[in-house]
Amino acid sequence: MEWSELATESRILTRSFYNRDAVTVARELLGKILVHRRAAGMIVETEAYLGGSDLAAHSARGVTNRTRVIFGPPGHAYVYFIYGMHECLNLVAEPEGSPGCVLIRAAEPVAGIEIMKRRRPKSRSMEKLASGPGNLTRAFAITRAQNGADVTRGPLVVRKWSREPKFEIQATPRIGIRHCADWPLRFVIAGNKAVSG
């Protein structure tokens, strides 16, 4: 897809989109377009993380220097480092003061594909360039430098198609966590080849 077509066929999501419960935001981010500079991909897999009793959520222990952005205004990026090797992108949901965020687990590349291939030269296929949270951030060149970025403007945004694609959403338990592992808070576009697992 050409960048001019992406710009004319979509618009950036506003803060009100994120100012809702994290489960709704996680479901409705599916099919939207994640853009960082010259890379863009349709979001095909998300996970919701809640406050309070969700012990898998970083916000479960309250406000810390690391989690402060999750308790802040919605529509910002929360990027963290895990396993000493992966950075993960989350988008803050819920009204300010109420913690909740959505992990972006996978995207199907739609623009900037050659750039993504250079960043992920060992990827087996185009569909797997941004499949899995660590692969996604590498393909999109998203790092902790984007932590706290306003995703309603600037180089890191999410866009909505003028005519949204139709697809079926499948809900499953989240992946790779110990606490609250049976909660069905992972959402995927059913049958999409870019889904991580």
Q: Is residue 194 part of a domain?
A: no
With 90 as the cut, is the pLDDT of residue 59 above it?
A: no
pLDDT at 84: 65
pLDDT given for residue 85 in this prediction: 73
Instruction: State the CATH number of the domain containing residue 151.
Output: 3.10.300.10
Cα separation, 171 vs 173, whole angstroms: 7
What integer pLDDT is reported at residue 11 of this predicted model?
Answer: 94
The full DSSP string for 49-88 is EESTT-TTSGGGG---TTTGGGGS-SSBEEEEEETTTEEE
Q: Which residues contact 155 (CB under 8 A, 6 or more apart)?
A: 36, 37
Q: Is residue 180 included in any domain, yes or no? A: yes
- Is residue 133 included in any domain, yes or no? yes
What mean pLDDT comes out for the span 84-100? 92
b/e string for 60-69 if b means 16 or more Cβ within 10 A? beeeeeebeb
Q: Is the pLDDT of residue 83 over 70?
A: no
Let me know if residue 170 belongs to a domain.
Answer: yes
Q: Confirm whether 131 is domain-assigned.
A: yes
Question: Residue written as tokens 């932590």?
Answer: 147
Please tell me the predicted confidence (pLDDT) of residue 128: 95
Q: Look at the chain and report how many structural domains it folds into.
A: 1
- Compute the average pLDDT of residues 16-45: 97
Residue range of the domain that includes 24? 3-189
Report if residue 86 sits inside a domain. yes
- For 150-171, the pLDDT digits (tens) are 999 999 999 999 988 999 999 9
The answer to whether position 195 is within a domain reads no
Check residue 57 and give its pLDDT: 85
Looking at residue 46, what DSSP letter applies? E
Quote helix, strand, coil % in the chain, to nearest 5: 25, 30, 45
Per-residue pLDDT, 107:
98
- Give the residue from 125, 134, 118, 103 showing the smallest Cα distance to 38: 118
Structure pTM?
0.95
